[in-house]
Structure 1
Amino acid sequence: MSQQARSVLSLTITALTIIPQYRIVTPQGFIAASAGIIVLGVTERPASAGELVAVTAIGTAIVEAGGAISQGSVIAPDGIGRAVAGVPSVTQVGIALQSAAAAGDLIEVLLS
């Protein structure tokens, strides 16, 4: 499980719902809850509704896995903003730089 990330660009958004740390989010401040949705990046810390939160938009980020993921796999958001294996160009949020054995694992992802 990774604890490193290299943020090249971090943006601040207002969370419109409670957002846990290391979740994939939209530019509007929601958790990205489906594949194919426009994604801004990954939260750097948890946030309550109405709170400002930093989001890594470019670079690498730590993301909570929603299941097993192989290193090198394309990732997409699951229903609660965790990373799951996706389909290139259709659902791609990034590429897993590490493997996840199970849901809840933290992995480093190269955002795209």
Structure 2
Amino acid sequence: MNIWPAIRIGLLDMRGDLRRFLLLVVCLAVGTALIAGVNSVGASITSAIEEGAAELMGGDIEISRADRLATAEELASLSELGRTVLVIDTNLRAESFTSEAFADVSVVGPSYPCLARW
């Protein structure tokens, strides 16, 4: 079986569409490069946040519960470890007459952040 006639017919058929094919290849290359760039930037931001979490968040340890607030006994035992701050986070849907959006709301205690002042 000779494959050259099939290649010849394929090239003749693609003759007018070669520019479109090259444009498709260029678009795929640019799209792949953009996705790789976004992933790289996201990874570097995540790394920076993980390395500087104590400075950014203002403490060394974070303890959280999603189901309820801490009891008085739990807060007393945590206070024995050092200075503590109560932080309450919630998410909600904000709505106006023309649009709506989801928002995260955080309320912090008066001793936030827990960083030592020099």
How high is the TM-score relative to the length of structure 1?
A: 0.21
More helix as a share of residues: 2
TM-score (norm. length: structure 2): 0.20
Structure with more relative contact order (C-alpha pairs < 8 Å, separation 6 or more): 1
Whose radius of gyration is greater, 1 or 2?
A: 2
Relative to its length, the structure with more strand (as a share) is 1
